[in-house]
Amino acid sequence: GDSVTQMEGPVTLSEEAFLTINCTYTATGYPSLFWYVQYPGEGLQLLLKATKADDKGSNKGFEATYRKETTSFHLEKGSVQVSDSAVYFCALPSSGGSYIPTFGRGTSLIVHP
């Protein structure tokens, strides 16, 4: 079945540092790929997505490129801010007739001033 593997956290960085959160997936076919973000005390919200191979999703300075050959969708940001402190989830939407998405376990990011 489908699966998503994310790097374990917490990831602790200083402000303005470069961020990478790794995500790899196993899926049937070539699904869309998503990154969601969960700020403290809130629900998840969509950060960015890519719908096909080689697409790059971007939002709020974050980017992720859909790599079919490595089945990866790593999240990057060139210069993190304290306000980026949150939990980040990589996700596969439903596939194979099921409408139940698959989420990674989440990676906590802590950014210090």
Partner 1 sequence: GAGVSQSPSNKVTEKGKDVELRCDPISGHTALYWYRQSLGQGLEFLIYFQGNSAPDKSGLPSDRFSAERTGGSVSTLTIQRTQQEDSAVYLCASSLITSGSGDTQYFGPGTRLTVL
Which parts of this chain interact with partner 1 (CB under 8 A)? Answer: 31-34, 36, 41-46, 49, 51-52, 89, 93-94, 98-101, 103-106
Which residue number, 14 or 28, has a Cβ lying nearer to partner 1?
28
Least distance from C-beta 93 to partner 1, angstroms? 3
Minimum distance from residue 111 beta carbon to partner 1 (Å): 19
Q: How many CA atoms lie less than 13 Å away from 84 in the CB half-sphere? A: 29
The answer to whether the beta carbons of residues 49 and 2 sit under 8 Å apart is no
User: What distance, in Å, lies between the first and last C-alpha atoms of the chain?
Assistant: 41
- E strands in 3-55: 3-6, 11-14, 19-21, 23-26, 33-38, 44-50
Report, in Å, the least distance between residue 52 CB and partner 1.
8
**Of the two residues 62 and 89, which places its CB atom closer to partner 1 in the complex?**
89
Q: Nearer Cβ to partner 1, position 3 or 83?
A: 3
Smallest separation (angstroms) from partner 1 to the CB of 74? 18
